[in-house]
Structure 1
Amino acid sequence: MRPDLNLLVILDALCRYGSVSRAAERLSLSQPAISHALNRLRAATGDPLFTRSGRGLVPTPRALALAERVAGIVAEGQACLRPEAFDPTRDAMRFRVGVSDFAGLTLVPQIIAALMVEAPRAIIETQPVGPGLLRQLEEGGIDLSFWGTDPVAAPFHHQPLFEDEYGLVLRRDHPALMVGAGRITLGDYLGLSHAVVSLGDPGKSGVDMALARDGLSRRIVLVSPSFAANLAAVAASQLVATVPIRLARNLPDALVQVPLPIEVPRFRYGMIWHARADASPALRWFRGLIGRVVGEAA
């Protein structure tokens, strides 16, 4: 027979209050319901559990032996059902975040600096993003991810963080700058050798879509998943890279950023998460911290 755990709640109330009427009042049940449950408890334990004394109940030795264990079980059950809370100053938490190296270079340093102050026991675990990102979010492999394309439909949630535009990065002593007196023409741009980032998305980048509208294309020599690797290659060669301005803010001395010779729409950057993670107090707090830190940086 499957045990009825509700009987433990009733036994706990009877032990606490020593009265059928008071137990019924505390549990919002009728007195006959409590008496019926007591009869079932007696049958299950093979012990009377309580005897009458005046208007109250006196526990038997068996009831006294069970009282502490039952109280612990009931308290643990109540704790399991209590709404979750998160105290960033005291609670340990691991936040698993999908991060491209763009986010890793431009956002994560400020976020971890704030986290170390506001949630000293928390950990950020970054994971590379790729074609399986939405499945990772759905299956709980990561809690949230930074997101550089259009928002996706339910059951995913999206929060915009900022907008950015692109600039062209190349060596300070690049021949194209020497010839153009510090500026790059559209003809120069199309004739240069480009390093581009691809995260496995089969679609064209915003830059290539802008060029394609005018029937143009650029010469791509290096494709990698890393802005940092591309900028290292640019610093060591005559490659150029079209990158978000936010990334170009802290270039090494060997590199310089100049305006693009073609109009490319600004892009929106945000974060996404699955509905399964939406109600978590810890993750809500963490998303709020990200929004605040990124907003201050912008």
Structure 2
Amino acid sequence: MSPDSIDLNLLRIFDAVFEERNLALAGKRVNLSQSAVSHALTRLRQVLNDDLFVRTAKGLQPTARAMGMAGQLRGALQQIKSALDIVAFEPARAQRKFVVAANDYITSLLLGRLSQRLNAEAPLTDLVIRPSTRLDLAGQIDVGRIDIAVGIFSDIPSRFRWMKVWDQTDVLLMHRDHPLAEQPLTPDSVLEYPLVAISQGGEEEGAVSGFIFERGLARQSEMFNRAALNLVCAGQSESPRVRVAMAHSLAIPALLRFSNMLALVPSALGREMERNSELKMRAAPYECPREDVRAVWHERSDNDAALQWLRRQMADLARQVRT
């Protein structure tokens, strides 16, 4: 067989298998039996002279050839759908799975609201939230396994599109009974008391200046501005002590309840925790720039009506988040 004679249905089946890594599940997506999916894969393997998928204990794993073609193929299929004008999205009746990558505090602030919106306006859609900390985030966006990633990114490749969700800066959280709760804060405050900070990857994961770079995408690994913090100790004999560094924000109230530690957190999270716990938020006692939280997606999704609708909902709900 020649590549020129490939049935487009074979490519659609390949895309389903790549996404599901399971013949039976892929068959359900394309309304075919498992044997029909297997037969289609055999035909495609003959055309491309590659196994495409290898059986493992964890399911079907794509070969290097399959990994290389998956992203471009999904984009091509999406363009075909757009050209045929079959992507109309009716929220009330649509059955669709949205996959969004975000860390835990963005999930609690934005995606919790988004879930409620979907339940009210698009009740047949499903929302899957993946951790934005995964090292292959850009690759997952490339191959279409993640629709939108939300976070702070210093560099965004031209193949990706983005929109601003909100901007934020660093603030300090403390228990309302903390010795500094009613006192003026100075740069010495962060030297006197140990800190809690959110860090989702350090130098051992390849982080440079608080960012992890992969496939051209630079995503924030530390949920605070280390450069601004380090300026506090310029000329001092000691440095701020980050006593607890953790990947999740939900434990912050418990950590501060019985200690005099200070938590260094994004302002959007700080306001939410101050509102819902016994914590008090204070501005950082040093110069700290505001940074943009952005939603990022692949350029092939620009004309996907369902994802256009989803992005509009996210932009609308983000206005409810105080920073």
Q: Tell me which interval the TM-score lies in, with the shorter structure as reference length.
A: 0.5 to 0.7
Match of residue 41 from structure 1? none
TM-score (ref. length: structure 2) = 0.62
- Cα 1:174–1:79 change in 2 (3 A) is closer
Cross-structure match for 2:185:
184
Q: Secondary structure at the match of 2:250?
A: helix
Instruction: State the distance in 1 between where 2:156 and 2:200 align.
Output: 17
Residue aligning to 2:252? 230
Separation of aligned partners in 1, 2:243 and 2:106: 24
Which of 252, 265, 283 lines up with 2:289 in the alignment?
A: 265
Q: Indicate the residue corresponding to 2:171 in structure 1.
A: 167
Q: Is the 8 A contact 1:137 1:143 kept in 2?
A: yes
Taking structure 1 as the reference length, what is the TM-score of the superposition? 0.67
Further displaced range: 165-174 or 228-237: 228-237
**Paired residues of 2:165 and 2:293 also in contact (CA < 8 A):** yes
Partner of 2:120: 117
Deviation at 1:279, TM superposition (A): 2.3
Q: When the two structures are aligned, how many residues end up with a matched partner?
A: 223
**What is the letter of the counterpart of residue 232 of structure 1?**
A
Match of 1:210 in 2: 228
Q: Could you tell me which runs of 5 or more consecutive residues in structure 1 were left unpaired when the two chains were aligned.
A: 5-77
Unaligned ranges ≥5, structure 2: 6-80, 211-221
Q: Distance in 1 between matches of 2:85 and 2:172?
A: 54
Where 1:185 maps in the other structure, the secondary structure is coil
1:90-109 to structure 2, matched below 5 A, reads 90-109=93-112
| Identity %, equivalent residues | 25
Are residue 142 (structure 1) and residue 146 (structure 2) matched? Answer: yes
For residues 142 and 126 of structure 1, do their structure 2 counterparts lie closer, same or farther at Cα, with a shift above 3 Å needed? same
Secondary structure at the aligned position of 1:279 is classed as coil
Per-residue deviation, 1:276? 3.1
Q: After TM superposition, give the deviation of residue 219 of structure 1 in Å.
A: 0.4
Q: Which has the higher helix share?
A: 1
Report if the CA contact (8 A) 2:99-2:127 is conserved: yes
Contact 2:104/2:249 (CA < 8 Å) preserved in 1?
Answer: yes
| Residue pair 1:224, 1:230 contacting (<8 A) in 2 also | no
Counterpart of 2:92 in structure 1 is 89
